[in-house]
Structure 1
């Protein structure tokens, strides 16, 4: 059974805080199954955007996991803001979580590209 979006977001933010990092919920989405987008802030001032991986990236042995893909990598903040705004217009139930890290793979599972 797949974790509810709200529980996943809560666990993600707690893990980041436990490691001494910063995490914040920028947009609260649907508690049960909202798509989760992660805005990753890097120390050099750039940002990356992790988005839900397409269905084809899921392992048939573990279909309930949450996989992400890196949609944008180390770009200016404005590019991430615009991408998130487009997603929110398409789906108003999305979550946007902001974390500060240079190693997002510590907190997120990325599908094979």
Structure 2
């Protein structure tokens, strides 16, 4: 099964967050077809987490996007610095920011290695 385009996935993700009553915004638009998607979750208490694409070894034929925690429970500034490093590596990435005190993200996480 083919994987959903990044622009469609981000649009659906933003809608899902809105339905759940969670503030989410697109901070950076990447490549429409296949840009890597990163999600910053700000807990609004001085901590944040960053989720990014799972390594290729976790991908299967389902076409589902899987994520892994890149940073967890760090300062929002730490997340911003990491995003800047990722941008130097991949200028076509997408960045979605979610504000939720409970840290909810609704992402499918890859299993631990």
Q: What's the TM-score, normalizing by structure 2?
A: 0.91
Give 2:49's aligned residue. 48
Instruction: Measure the CA separation in 1 of the matches of 2:3 and 2:58.
Output: 16
Give 2:71's aligned residue. 72
Residue 94 of structure 1 and its aligned partner are, at CA, apart by 0.2
Give 1:111's aligned residue. 110
Are residues 1:20 and 2:27 paired?
Answer: no
Instruction: Measure the CA separation in 2 of the matches of 1:78 and 1:11.
Output: 27
Q: Tell me the secondary structure at the aligned position of residue 7 of structure 1.
A: helix
Instruction: Measure the CA separation in 1 of the matches of 2:91 and 2:29.
Output: 10
- Name the Cα RMSD after superposition: 1.1
Q: What's the TM-score, normalizing by structure 1?
A: 0.91
Count of matched residue positions in the alignment of Structure 1 and Structure 2: 109
Residue 65 of structure 1 and its aligned partner are, at CA, apart by 1.1
Give 2:32's aligned residue. 31
Unmatched segments (≥5 aa) in structure 2: none
Unmatched segments (≥5 aa) in structure 1: none
**What CA deviation, in whole Å up to 9, does each residue of 1:44-85 have, x standing for no partner?**
231000000001122x352x1100000110100111001100
Moved over 2 A (4+): none
Give 1:93's aligned residue. 92
Residue 18 of structure 1 and its aligned partner are, at CA, apart by 1.0
